Chains A and B, each alone.
Chain A
């Protein structure tokens, strides 16, 4: 009798503890759901920017929930694997384009804002976040310096492939990267990504001078 009572008490305590724990995550999930509903009621479609831009995929959801903190290692690995599977390399295997065109893409950030013409070509805006060449001093620091990218890493086919994949989907290599998934989301075309790879990897590119 006494034993069953203790067991019963223990069970109640365990259930209560479980509920309290679940209550915490339920609260967080409820707050997230409420925030999303609030956003959907607070934004309006404008030009090419429709309300479906507020619909998150698995990666965006996980990165938002992390509140800027590093992801759990297993989750990060699972997401990176899923993102890597999205990378489509050029069918003809050609990864390098024209570094001069790449430099122009690196300079312009136009595209996909509701104030942009959806028919105009978009840019990569690399300089907003990265140092790339010696000549351009107006560069941002959200991403690492890419000056001497190819020179330091070697002008190899493997490195070209890495650079292409990184531009196509940076989250394949580092989940919750600040960098857009230029290929997956169709921000840049295949040809444009080849030009960006050339900017990074062509020995003649000012990036490697």
Chain B
């Protein structure tokens, strides 16, 4: 990681924010609405210049190879779906059914399984710190960043043919359309129509292939506003918080089923993450 990158990034963000400042003085109508969208695109392009997620990726590669846990073993023999130890391209076939656990697993749950089976952690230990926060860097985020980065440039190719994979997809679809809570929100509220925004944030229509591809292949992401790499499990957890639902548990069956629905809908899209987002 080049030391000048964070500084360059800061300048780019400042420039993009300045662009917003100019915009704020213009009256809004249908013409300048498209200008707004253009300025957002510029801001996103500026963000792409340097990605601190590289730090997580490097730390994750070390953790993958490092002997850890009660059995003092590395994760190098972990089967992520393409055979023991195969990291390259593994994320493009997840979630998938695993015979050894007799479950459909996404990346995070598969890492938990391997931490238990290979390294001897208890499931509780393996799931204890799912997401990083201020002053707390967790192994899970780093491992996720490393493994997903090893699928960069490859096409999403979730099979979904096994009966348990089909069931997970169908249940994930139900969960996507499930509206509840005090606000009547569901995933579909924000992600079921074309060309919508919340404030200035574009919302992908996750029922449509092109949008699902664009969105799914951009997670995990380094969130500039949080200074953290956020996994897909985190993305779902935080969506449900904003939906005013109770808390979605890490690597829970519903989280994996919903990931199955969204990942399979993105098949054919080129994976390009960890990305960088506001």
Which residues on A are within 8 Å of B, measured CB to CB?
Answer: 31-32, 34-36, 38-39, 41-46, 49-51, 53-56, 59-60, 63-68, 112-115, 127-129, 131, 134, 137-142, 171, 178, 180-181, 185-187
Q: Considering the chains assembled together, what is the distance between the CA atoms of A68 and B23 in angstroms?
A: 35
Q: Do the beta carbons of B198 and A115 come within 8 Å of each other?
A: no
Task: Please give the distance in Å from A100's CB to the nearest CB on chain B.
Answer: 20
* Distance to closest chain B CB from A184 (angstroms): 9
When the two chains form their complex, are residues B244 and A49 in contact, meaning their CB atoms are under 8 A apart?
yes
* Cα-based distance from A128 to B183 in the complex (angstroms): 14
User: What residues on B are CB-neighbors of A127 within 8 Å?
Assistant: 199
Known pairs A35-B175, A56-B178; list 18 more (Cβ under 8 Å). A35-B178, A35-B257, A41-B253, A44-B249, A53-B181, A53-B244, A54-B180, A56-B180, A64-B186, A68-B207, A137-B24, A141-B195, A142-B190, A142-B196, A142-B197, A142-B198, A180-B185, A186-B182
| Residues of chain B having any CB pair with chain A under 8 Å | 23-24, 26-28, 36, 170-171, 173-175, 177-186, 188-190, 192-193, 195-201, 203, 207, 240-242, 244-249, 252-255, 257
Closest to A109 in B: B242
Interface SS of chain B: mixed
The answer to whether B177 touches A43 (Cβ under 8 A) is no
Of the A-B pairs whose beta carbons lie under 8 Å apart in the complex, a sample of 5, sorted by A's number, is A44-B247, A45-B246, A49-B247, A64-B174, A65-B177
Please measure, in the bound complex, the distance between the C-alpha atom of A140 and the C-alpha atom of B171, giving whole angstroms. 30
Q: Are B196 and A39 in contact (CB under 8 A)?
A: no
B183 touches A187 (CB 8 A): yes
The residues of B that contact A134 with a CB separation of less than 8 Å are: 27-28
**What is the minimal beta-carbon distance from B220 to any residue of chain A, in angstroms?**
21
